[in-house]
Amino acid sequence: MKYQAYKIYAATLLIAGTLLASCSGGSENKEKENPKTEIKDKESGLELSDAQMKSVGIVIGPIEQKNLDAVVKANGQLAVPPQNKADVSILSGGIIGNINVLEGQQVQKGQVLATIKNQDLIKIQQDYLAAKNNFTYVQAEYDRQSQLKAAGAGTGKYFQSSEATYNAERSRLTAYESQLRQLGVSPGRITSGNIVSQFPVLSPISGTVGTITANTGAFVQPGTSIMEVVDNSKIHCDLTVFEKDLMAVKVGQKVSFQLTNQNNQVINGTINGINKSFENESKGVIVHAVINNKEHQNLIPGMYVTALISTGSKLTDAVPVDAVVRSEGKQYIFVTSTHAKDGKTIFTKTEVTTGVAELGYIQVTPLNALPAGVQIATKGAFYLQSKAAGSGEEE
C-alpha cells in the first residue's frame, strides 16, 4: 500500500511541474508576440503640407535679432508741452454771444472762437474816444510851447507844464489802446465811429479744440476758461523710471513705445530730458521722450504707454512669444527642416532656454547650436505641440 501511495504522489508532482512549465512558456511567448509599444522619437519630426499649414495658421520665419537684454521697462502716458496747450480764457466778464467752433475742430492762431457781450466795453470805448480828443488838444498846446521855447519867446514854466500834461495824456491813451487790443477790438475802428458791444475770443495757438466748458448765453467771470486748444504735433511721452533703474537711463537713448489700448501699436522715440526730483513718494523720476511719429498715428494726450528704454547696444536672438511652447517643464521651438518629402515641411522640436520677454518677443538660446538662417514656426507652435502630444508624446 505504501508503495502504491508513493507512485501516486510522484505522478502528481510530475503533472504539476509540467503545468508550471507550460504556463511559464506561454507567458514568454505572449510577451514575444505582444511587445510593448514604444513612444515615438521626439526628433523624428512632424510632416505638414502647405495646405495643412495654411489651414491652421502656421507661419515660418527666422530667429530675429532684438535688443531685449539691455532695456529698462517704464510706464507712462502721452502729454504735450505747456507751450502747446492753451486754455482759452476771457479778460472781461460777460455773456457768451456765439461759439463758433466744435470740439475736435482744427483752428489757427488768431481765429475767432467765440464772442462775448459786455456793457463795460462800451464805456471803455467812450473813455478812449474822450482821451483821444483831449490828447489832440494837449498835443497841439505842447507843440506850440515847444515852438515858443525854440524861438526864445516862451517861458520854461509853461513849457514844462504842457510837456507833463502831454506825457500823461499820451500814457492814458496808450493804456486804453492796449486794453482794447487785449479784448480783440481795433482802436482804429472805434476812431471812425464804429462802437461795438461785444468782443471776440481769439485762439492763442494753432491746434485742435478740446473740451468746451461753456454754452451760448452763459455768463462768464473774468479769467474763466471756456475751452482749450491743444497742438498735438509736439506730443511727447512722460515715463516714470524708478530709482533702481535711474542710473542706466541717459539723454539720447532710444525708446520703443507700445500703446496700451491701441492694438499694441509700437512707436519709436528718443529720451530728451530727465527730471531731477522724485515724484511724491513713489521713488520714481519723470523721463521725457520725443516721439518719432512718421506714420502720423492718432496720438492723444493722456494715452497710457509701455516703453522699453534701450540702455545697451548688444543684440540677442529672439522669437515671437507664440513661437515657444512648454512641455514637461522644458521649453521648445519648432525648427523647419530643408529636407521635405512629397512637398511637405518637416518640423523638429528643439529645446531652448528663454530670457527676458517684452513687446511680444522673447529671448531664446538653443541647447544645441542651430545653423545660420534657420527657419522656425513663428506662429502655430501650439498646434504643432498638440499634434506631437497626440502622436504619443507626453505633455
- State pTM to two decimals: 0.55
For residue 134, pLDDT over 60 is answered with yes
What is the C-alpha separation between 382 and 387, in angstroms, rounded?
9
**How high does pLDDT run on average in the chain?**
80
Which of the four pLDDT bands, split at 50, 70 and 90, describes residue 101?
Answer: very high
Which of the four pLDDT bands, split at 50, 70 and 90, describes residue 100?
Answer: very high
Assigned C-alpha cell, 53: 499649414
Q: In CATH, what number does 71-80+235-310 get?
A: 2.40.30.170
- The answer as to CATH 2.40.50.100 being correct for domain 85-119+197-230 is yes
Look at residue 43 in the predicted model and tell me its pLDDT. 46
Q: Would you kindly state where each structural domain of the chain is located, as residue ranges?
A: 42-69+316-390, 71-80+235-310, 85-119+197-230, 122-189
For residue 360, pLDDT over 50 is answered with yes
Q: List pLDDT tens digits, range 105-120.
A: 999 999 999 999 988 8
Assigned C-alpha cell, 52: 495643412
Q: Are 73 and 257 in contact (CB under 8 A)?
A: no
What is the C-alpha separation between 113 and 61, in angstroms, rounded?
54
What is the C-alpha separation between 136 and 155, in angstroms, rounded?
22
Q: Is the dihedral of CA 326, 329, 333, 336 positive or negative?
A: negative
What is the C-alpha separation between 167 and 174, in angstroms, rounded?
10
Q: Are 87 and 228 in contact (CB under 8 A)?
A: yes
CATH architecture of 122-189: Orthogonal Bundle (1.10)
For residue 16, pLDDT over 50 is answered with no
Q: CATH class for domain 42-69+316-390?
A: mainly beta
Q: Which residues of 227-238 are buried (b: 16+ CB within 10 A; e: fewer)?
A: bbbbbbeebbbb
Instruction: Report, as an integer, the average pLDDT of 260-279.
Output: 81
Burial class of residue 301, CB neighbours in 10 A (0-12, 13-18, 19+)? middle
Helices (H) and strands (E) in the chain, counts: 7, 23
Q: Are 76 and 238 in contact (CB under 8 A)?
A: yes
**Choice between 241 and 395, residue whose per-residue pLDDT is larger:** 241
| Residue type at 335 in one-letter notation | V
Give me the residues paired with residue 140 across strands: none
Instruction: Report, as an integer, the average pLDDT of 171-191.
Output: 85
Q: Are 239 and 291 in contact (CB under 8 A)?
A: no
Q: List pLDDT tens digits, range 45-77.
A: 788 888 888 888 888 888 888 876 677 888 999
Look at residue 32 in the predicted model and tell me its pLDDT. 40
